[in-house]
Amino acid sequence: MTQTSTTASETIPELSEGPASKWRLALNPVVLAYGAVLLLAAVGGILDRNFLASDHLFTMVNLGAVLGIVAAGQTIVIVTGGIDLSVAGVLTFAQVMTPFWIDGQSGRWPLIIVILGIALLIGAVNAFGVSVLRVQPMIMTLGVGAVISAAVLILTNGSSTGGPPKFLVTTMTRQGALSGLLLMWIVVSIVTYVLLHESSFGRKVFAYGASARTARLAGLRSGTAILGTYCFSAVTAAMAGIALAGYTGSGDFGIGDTYLFPSIGAVVIGGTSIMGGRGNYLGTIAGVLILTVLEAILIVLNIAAAGRQIAEGLAILIILIAYARERRLRQ
C-alpha cells in the first residue's frame, strides 16, 4: 500500500505540497480504489467464510487476469485521451483463430506469433487513422472493430472449429499461485507500468493526453507515441484472446464484447481520467480487482445475471460520483 501512495503523489505533483496534502492524498483515486478492493473483500469474507480462502482468492485473480490484460492496453490508450473499442474485435479474433488455425497441433505454435503480428498491424491501422487521418479514436476503433469482427466470421465461415495446442491448455488451466493466466497478467502489468510511468514513451503519452496541441508545440513527435499506444493495446487484447483460447478450449464469437466495457470501466474506476492526461496504471489493477471481487460477491449472494448487471452498473456509478466528476463550468 505504501508503494501505491508514493507513486500516486509523484504522478500528481500538487499532492505533495500544501497543508491539506494529507487529506488530498487520502482522497487520491488510486488509494480509494485499493480501499474499495479491501472493503469489498472484507464484505465477501463476512458473507462467506470460504471467500478469503486461498483457493477462492486464486480463482478470482485468475478470472480477473484476462480483464486485467485487456485493461492494461486500454489504460495507455485512455491516458492519451482516446479509447479503444476494437479490443473486442481483436480479442475475439485471437480467441477464435488460435484454435481454428492451430487445430490442436502443437507443432503449429508459430501461428500464435502470426496472430500477435496481425494484432500489431491492427493497432498500426488504428494509430494511422487517429494520428494521420485525424479520425476520432472512438469512431476509428469502432470501424476497425466492425471490420475485424466481420473478418473473423468470414475466415471461419461462421463456425468456430479446431482446438488450441496442448501446451496452451495446460498452462492456462493450471490453478493456484503459478497459473499461466496470473503470470501473464503480472508480466503484462510490469511492462505496462514501466512503459507508462518510467519511460520517455510514457511521458510522451501523458503529455499528448493532457494537451495534444501543447505537446506538438513543445516539439514532441506524437505520431510514435500514438503508434506505440494502439499497437500495445491491440497486442494485449490479442494476448488475452490467446490465453482465453487455452482456458476455454474453443472459440466463441461473442467473447470480446463481454470484455470491452469492463476494460473501460476498470481503467476509469482506477482513477484514470477518461479525458486523458491523468492516470495511474496501479489504479487500473485495483479497478480490475474491484470488478472481479464485486462479481464474486454477487455470485456468493446467489444473485442472477440480471441483478449482477444492475449492481455492477450502480457500483461503477457510485465510485465515479466519488471521484470522477468533471470541474464546474464556472471554474
Partner 1 sequence: MTKLRTSGGYSIRLSDLTIYVVLIALVIINTVLQPNFIEPLNLYYVLGTAMPLIFASAAQGMVILISSIDLATGSVVSLVNVLVVTLIGRGSFVAICLAILAGIAMGLIAGLITTLLRLPAIIATLALSSVWAGLALYVLPTPKGGLPDWFQTVLAGSRPLWILVGMILLWQWFSRTKQGKHMYAIGANENAAYMSGVPILKTRLLVFAISGLLLALSALSLSATTGGGDPLSGTALTLQSIAAAVLGGIHFKGGSGSIVGAIAGAIVLALITNVVYYTGASAFYQGVVYGLLLILALSLSRLTGDRKATFRRSLKPRMSI
**Closest approach of partner 1 to the CB of residue 96, in Å:** 13
Q: Does residue 142 bind partner 1 (CB under 8 A)?
A: yes
**Angle formed at CA 280 by CA 277 and CA 282, multiple of 5 degrees:** 165
Q: Does residue 217 bind partner 1 (CB under 8 A)?
A: no
Q: Does residue 308 bind partner 1 (CB under 8 A)?
A: yes
**Angle formed at CA 140 by CA 115 and CA 281, multiple of 5 degrees:** 70
Window 154-183: residues binding partner 1 (CB under 8 A): 154, 157-158
Window 117-136: residues binding partner 1 (CB under 8 A): 129, 133-136
Total residues interacting with partner 1, rule: CB under 8 A: 51
Between CA 282 and CA 240 the distance in angstroms is 19
Please name which of 74, 46, 119 lies closest in space to residue 260, comparing C-alpha atoms: 74
Q: Does residue 79 bind partner 1 (CB under 8 A)?
A: no
Beta-carbon contacts of 314 under 8 Å, excluding residues fewer than 6 positions away, are none
DSSP state of 165: -
Binding segment (CB under 8 A) for partner 1, from list 52-60, 63-71, 137-145, 215-223: 137-145
Q: Does residue 213 bind partner 1 (CB under 8 A)?
A: no
Q: Does residue 138 bind partner 1 (CB under 8 A)?
A: yes
Contact 188, 128 (CB under 8 A): no
Instruction: Please provide the size of the chain in residues.
Output: 331
Q: Does residue 322 bind partner 1 (CB under 8 A)?
A: no
What cell was used for 50?
470460504
Contact 84, 77 (CB under 8 A): yes
Window 226-265: residues binding partner 1 (CB under 8 A): 261, 264-265
Q: Which residues bind partner 1 (CB under 8 A)?
A: 83, 85, 129, 133-136, 138-140, 142-147, 149-151, 153-154, 157-158, 261, 264-265, 268, 274-275, 304-314, 316-317, 320-321, 324-330
